[in-house]
Each structure stands twice: as C-alpha cells, then as structure tokens.
Structure 1
Amino acid sequence: MAHTTTSIKIPASPGQVWQLIGGFDSLPNWLPYIPSSEVSEGGRVRHLANPDGDTIVERLEVFNDKERYYTYSIMKAPFPVTDYLSTIHVKEDIDGESSLVEWSGSFTPVGVSNDEAIDLFHGIYKDGLEALLKAFID
C-alpha cells in the first residue's frame, strides 16, 4: 500500500476554510479540476466530472464536523489504484489565526509503481490545495 500527504497554510480561520470545503458536494466551489458534482444516497456518494469527461464516484466514509475532516473512498475512477482511502482535514495553525489544511491518501497501485501512484496523487492534492489557497487570497 502506498501513501502520500501534503498540506498548505491558508490565511483564514479553520471555520472559514471548513465552510468552503467541508461539504462533501463542495469540490466544484474550490477545485477547478472538478467542474461538477452530484450527490446520491443521501449525500454519501458523489459523482464527479473532470475536464476529460471521466466520471469519478466517491463514497463518504467518515464525516466529523467538529474536528473538521472527512474521509472518502473511490468507488470508480480512471486512476491506476485500488483500495483508495483519503482524508481532508482543516486544523488551526500554530499562529492561531490561519489554517493548516492536510490532504492525505492511501492506495494500492495497479499496473504502475508505488512511486508513480504516489506522484499522481501527491500532484492532485498539491494542485488542489494551491487552488484552495487562491480562493482565499484572490
């Protein structure tokens, strides 16, 4: 099993950041790579579209509003992995005025090396968090 984590400091309170990203259906609000999201099963499954026209289906596994994180799995995606589990977590930064957002995932590569799968998801998380930062500084 492979794993990667990336994080970014956001110049906003954890409450403000969580308000934007805490909804399981909120990816199109801050992640340009995902232009649309539709939920089903009472909001526990999201069907995402990417610019290539691929569909990604993800299931909400854990949601903790108080601690500001959720964990999700991939049910269907064009990625070369199985057993994918990812968490996005908004924490208060040590300065008490900004947030530290951490995005991590674990997965089993299929047909690619661990390093290739790690590079893929590390890039997705890094680009996603940079897009999130832009939502607060633009």
Structure 2
Amino acid sequence: MATAQASITLATDANRVWQLIGGFDALPDWLPFIPESALSEGGRVRTLKSVAGDTIIERLLDFNEAGRSYSYTILTGPAPVRDYQSTLRVVAEGSGSRVEWSGSFVPVGISDAEATALFAGIYEDGLAALKKGLEG
C-alpha cells in the first residue's frame, strides 16, 4: 500500500475554512480542477467531473463535524489505483489553521513512487488553490 499526504498553513480561521471545504459536495467551491459535483444516495456518494472531462465517483466513509474532517473512497475513476481511501481535515492553529489531505492506495500498473507522486501533486495543487482563494 502506498500513501501520499500534503498540508498547508492558512491565516484563515479553522471554522471559516471548514465552512468552505467541509461539505462533501463542496469541491467545486475551492478546487479548480473539479468544476462539477453531484450528490446521490442521501449525500453519501458524489459524482465529480474534472476539467479534463473525467468522471470520478466517491463514497463518503466518515464525516466528523466537530473534528472538521471527512474520509472517502474512490469507487470509479481514471486514477491507476485501487483501495483508495483519503481524509481531508482542518486543524486550528492559533488564529489560523492547517489543512491536511492524505490518502492510501494500491497502485495498478504503476509503481508506488509514481502513484505517491500523482496524489501528492493533486493534494499540493488543491491546497495551494485553496490558499490562493482564501488569501489572494
């Protein structure tokens, strides 16, 4: 099993960050490479469209409002992995916050290093876009 992780420190209050990113359907609000999201199965499954036109279907595994985190798995998508599980979390740090995005997965047809680099890049680019959107 391979893993990837990224985090970013923001000058923005953790509750404000969570209000923006904490909804399972909120990716289009802050992640520029996912412009569309639609919920199904009572809000536990999201169907995402990427800017490249790919469809990714993900299932919510755990949602913790008080802990400002949620975990999910990819059901179908173009990524060359299986058994993908990821967590997005917002942690208070003084008057600011830290956003952590991590995942584990089994690469299919690529090396652990290639899969790790792929998801680390997605997480890092996504968190950089979040910071830019919140802090300019």
Alpha-carbon distance, 1:24 to partner: 0.2
The alignment's TM-score, normalised by the length of structure 2, stands at: 0.99
Corresponding residue for residue 14 of structure 2: 14
Shift of 1:5: 1.1
| Cα deviation digits, residues 17-75 of structure 1 (max 9, x gap) | 00000000000000000000000001100000001111000000000000000000000
How many angstroms does 1:136 deviate by?
1.0
The residue number in structure 2 matching 1:87 is 87
Q: How many matched pairs?
A: 136
CA root-mean-square deviation: 0.5
% identical aligned pairs:
56
Counterparts of 1:1-138 in structure 2, within 5 Å, are 1-93=1-93, 96-138=94-136
> Residue 119 of structure 1 aligns to a residue in which SS?
helix
- AA partner of residue 107 (structure 2): P
Secondary structure of 2:116's partner?
helix
2:6 corresponds to which letter in structure 1? T
Paired amino acid for 1:5: Q
Structure 1: any 5+ residue segments left out of the alignment? none
TM-score scaled by length of structure 1: 0.97
2:106 partner amino acid: T
Query: AA paired with 1:28?
Result: P
Instruction: Please list every run of 5 or more consecutive structure 2 residues that lacks an aligned counterpart in the other structure.
Output: none
Supply the AA of the counterpart residue of 2:84: Y
Shift of 1:135: 1.4
Q: Distance in 1 between matches of 2:11 and 2:28?
A: 21
Deviations 1:53-112 (A, max 9, x none): 11000000000000000000000010000000000000012xx11000000000000000
Between the aligned partners of 2:51 and 2:63, the Cα distance in structure 1 is 27
Instruction: Give structure 1 regions of 4+ aligned residues with deviation exceeding 6 angstroms.
Output: none
